[in-house]
Amino acid sequence: MIFKKISVDFHGVLNKAPEYFKAFMDYAMAQGFLVYVVSGGPRAAIIDFLRQHDVAYSSLWCVIDEPQINEQTQFFADGSFRVDDYLWDKAKAEFCRDEEIGLHIDDSAVYGTYFSTGYCRYNHQAQTFSINGQTFPADLSPQELFAKLLPFYKSK
């Protein structure tokens, strides 16, 4: 069986509205989709948050876990790190393309320029979702949002 896949960013999206995205992800999985949580990291903190909020997901992927990025990362004593902007900014797009994830929700305007698959920008402050020149209010139910975004699903 071939599953369709979508992904939701953690920082700036899932962590800003956990109940909303939990319901969105639950609905997507009930429709037969695999749902990935995609983030920069760190993995352990994200897993703790997802458990605390009882968020179900199919897989978790973190940019910082990628060997080619990790090798080029400067780690500092305070736990922070520095990665080349270009490597970081395109990493999620490459992962979604390679994993055939046809729709990704993220809060970054920059990351979207690298995507060849569907990319929806969530703006928590403005309470909007934007994709391909269309904007939807964040007060849509998770089911309504799913229906609005589905036509933009685009795998490689």
Domain, as residue range, for 111: 5-152
Q: What is the CATH number of the domain that holds 81?
A: 3.40.50.1000
What are 16's two structure tokens? 């800003």
Specify whether the CB–CB gap between 115 and 93 falls below 8 A: yes
Contact residues for 101 (Cβ-Cβ < 8 A; gap 6+): 5, 6, 7, 36, 38, 95, 117, 155
| Domain total in the chain | 1
What are 128's two structure tokens? 């909007």
pLDDT of the residue at 1? 57
Q: Which ranges of the chain have pLDDT less than 70?
A: 1-2, 156
pLDDT of the residue at 156? 61
Span 100-114, pLDDT tens digits: 999 999 999 999 999
Task: Give the three-class secondary structure for 121.
Answer: strand
Specify whether the CB–CB gap between 136 and 24 falls below 8 A: no
CA distance 3 to 1: 6
Supply the DSSP symbol for 14: I
Task: Give the three-class secondary structure for 3.
Answer: coil
